[in-house]
Structure 1
Amino acid sequence: MMDGIAGILFDKDGTLFDFTATWAPWAQEMLLGLAQGDAGLAAQLGTLVGFDAQRMCFERRSVAIAGTARETAAVLAPALQGQSVAQIEARMVAAAAQVRAVPVTPLRPLMAQLRARGFALGVATNDGEAPARRQLDAAQITAHFDFIAGYDSGFGAKPAPGMVSAFAVKTGAIPATCLMVGDSLHDLKAGRAAGFRTLGVLSGPARASDLAPYADAVLPSIADLPDFLTR
């Protein structure tokens, strides 16, 4: 049961937006660009970050799934002579801002419904705040959120609880009445550490068995959230 929920904080990629459909084409192009067109090096970079360009998919434990651009850049940098972590991160963030995210479900009616039911809403992502806002703007849902934060917003990155706790402070909600919704262990661990209830979704690469130990419940996707909250 999820009685008494006042606020809902969403992860972005894999939760609001389909992770593979959104980021696999981007990863393929980004890695090839970093490798300056060298397909062999691009494949090596993919192995480092857990991305298979042939199958166009990410490994379940890929750093790209729940990590920040900085963390991913740090994994790539040793294989890219002459390119610093900061330079790689900047290229990744700039390219991410141009990505058109693929929604898991029609987001405008879903967020309007949740808002109409009185929930405070927010987004906490390990993506950068600027690209996150652009993607939320493109989906025409930014106005529904009371709080939007990325790894570079000053609250730290998940699985640390800073972003999650900041949502409670911003909205004035008691942490125990808030729900963290995400597709990765980083999301759920951050939620638990902040005193939130946690809900896992299977719209990212993780399996139910991965998420269940850290989730109060696991749903196929956020499309099932309104009915779940009613139950």
Structure 2
Amino acid sequence: MPIDALLFDKDGTLFDFADTWGAFGRNMLLRLSDGDHDRARVLGRVIGFDLDQVTYSEDSIVIAGTVEEVAETLAPHLAEMPRDALIDLLNAESASAPQAQAVPLTPFLDGLREAGLKLGVATNDGEAPALEHLASAGIRDHFDFVAGYDSGHGFKPGPGQLLAFAAHVNLPPERVAMVGDSLHDLQAGRAAGMTTIGVLTGLAPAEVLQPMADVVLPNIGHIPEWLTRN
């Protein structure tokens, strides 16, 4: 069946993961440790982040986890901080993180909309930070649907967000493609019965994504050509 809609992950897909979230990780950990670099390094190891190299491990909870999952991982090491306050701090740091576009997003999305495609975002970030990130890039109005882990549809790798998007744009799931940089994204796409497109602007290499992907592309900019050929 033809693909009439694209649902994008946000971090590592619309926005390059390493260029965007390295500074977030460093700033967040130093804030949590009151500027103590040694303690920040310890907290970094807990979430799979190297403070000195400003890099994430491939299995870091930050890559595909929700804000609440990151908070739950950190909480045993921050006994003095209430869980709600920790989540609020993570959301605030996330919302203010400068976003590095994977490709120039406005012309890319304009082209997709001109081709008649419905567009959405499904992220394991919170909905409010996600909307702020899209607005900061000037692309909020390009999307018919935006869902975070806290929007009421569940979170990836579950298919809830994806099925909610398909229903919102009144399309069967098999006419929607899920685009993402992590196995969580692609597993959610498979569970929803959608085409799955992997991209390499996150931390997962092609060989990790390929078993769950109908195609793996260098970045989202290659999608229009792939759609034309297929």
- TM-score w.r.t. structure 1 length? 0.97
Within 5 Å, give how 1:148-163 maps onto structure 2. Answer: 148-163=146-161
In structure 1, C-alpha distance between the alignment counterparts of 2:51 and 2:93, rounded to whole Å = 18
Q: Decide which of 223, 226, 230 is 1:225's aligned counterpart.
A: 223
Tell me the secondary structure at the aligned position of residue 181 of structure 1: strand
Q: Decide which of 119, 131, 139 is 2:137's aligned counterpart.
A: 139
In structure 1, C-alpha distance between the alignment counterparts of 2:11 and 2:20, rounded to whole Å = 8
Residue 80 of structure 2 corresponds to: 82
Mark the runs of 5 or more structure 2 residues left unpaired by the alignment: none
The percentage of aligned residue pairs carrying the same residue is 49
Residue 199 of structure 1 corresponds to: 197
Residue 129 of structure 1 corresponds to: 127
1:98, CA displacement in angstroms?
1.3
Residues 23 and 97, structure 2, Cα contact 8 Å, conserved in 1: no
1:84, CA displacement in angstroms?
2.8
Aligned letter for 1:9? L
Q: Deviations over 1:158-189 (max 9, x none)?
A: 11111011000000011011100000011001
Instruction: Confirm or deny that 1:40 pairs with 2:38.
Output: yes
Within 5 Å, give how 1:56-135 maps onto structure 2. Answer: 56-135=54-133
In structure 2, C-alpha distance between the alignment counterparts of 1:95 and 1:62, rounded to whole Å = 18
Residues 15 and 104, structure 1, Cα contact 8 Å, conserved in 2: yes
Residues 30 and 92, structure 1, Cα contact 8 Å, conserved in 2: yes
In structure 2, C-alpha distance between the alignment counterparts of 1:157 and 1:84, rounded to whole Å = 24
Residue 169 of structure 1 corresponds to: 167
Q: Deviations over 1:10-68 (max 9, x none)?
A: 00000000111111111101001111122111101111111111111111111000001
Residues 9 and 123, structure 2, Cα contact 8 Å, conserved in 1: yes
Aligned letter for 2:132? R
The RMSD of aligned alpha carbons is 0.9
Aligned letter for 2:3? I
